[in-house]
């Protein structure tokens, strides 16, 4: 994922927002019409590994996404989200980001 973020920073056109801990972007191979990703700059296997500062940054990133969609459509925009994290099993999954 680190390589992917480097490439996105080179192109810049798909980056919506960025803060100290996260990058909000439209994925290169977006499946849905209004798909966005909030990508951590630090490799995290699980959401519970976030620091307090990262949690606050994540909340700000999520707020940016929802506010932008509300402004685009000039109505409260319905959305669904998911969090992709490493499998919860006995393995370490060190390469997971």
Residue 93 has a pLDDT of: 82
81 domain-assigned: no
Q: Which long-range contacts (CB under 8 A, 24 or more apart) does 82-90 make?
A: 83/47, 85/44, 85/45, 85/46, 85/47, 86/45, 86/46, 88/46
Q: What element of type H or E holds 10?
A: helix 2-11
pTM recorded for the entire structure: 0.85
Total domains in the chain come to 1
- Whether residue 66 is contained in a domain is answered as yes
CATH number at residue 14: 3.30.428.10
Contact status, residue 24 vs residue 64, Cβ threshold 8 Å: yes
Confidence band of 7 (pLDDT split at 50, 70, 90) = confident
Asked whether residue 87 is domain-assigned, the answer is no
Please check whether residue 86 lies inside any domain of the structure: no
What does the pLDDT look like over 49-80, one tens digit per residue? 999 999 999 999 999 999 998 998 899 988 88
The verdict on residue 90 lying in a domain is: no
Residue 84 domain-assigned (yes or no):
no
């Amino acid at each position: 994922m680190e390589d992917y973020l480097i490439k996105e920073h080179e192109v810049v056109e798909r980056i919506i927002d960025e803060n100290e801990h996260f990058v909000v972007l439209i994925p290169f191979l977006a499946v849905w019409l209004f798909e966005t990703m909030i990508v951590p700059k630090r490799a995290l296997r699980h959401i519970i590994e976030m620091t307090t500062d990262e949690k606050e940054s994540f909340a700000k990133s999520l707020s940016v996404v929802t506010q932008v969609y509300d402004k685009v459509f000039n109505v409260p925009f319905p959305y669904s989200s998911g969090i992709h994290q490493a499998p919860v099993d006995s393995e370490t999954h060190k390469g997971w980001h």
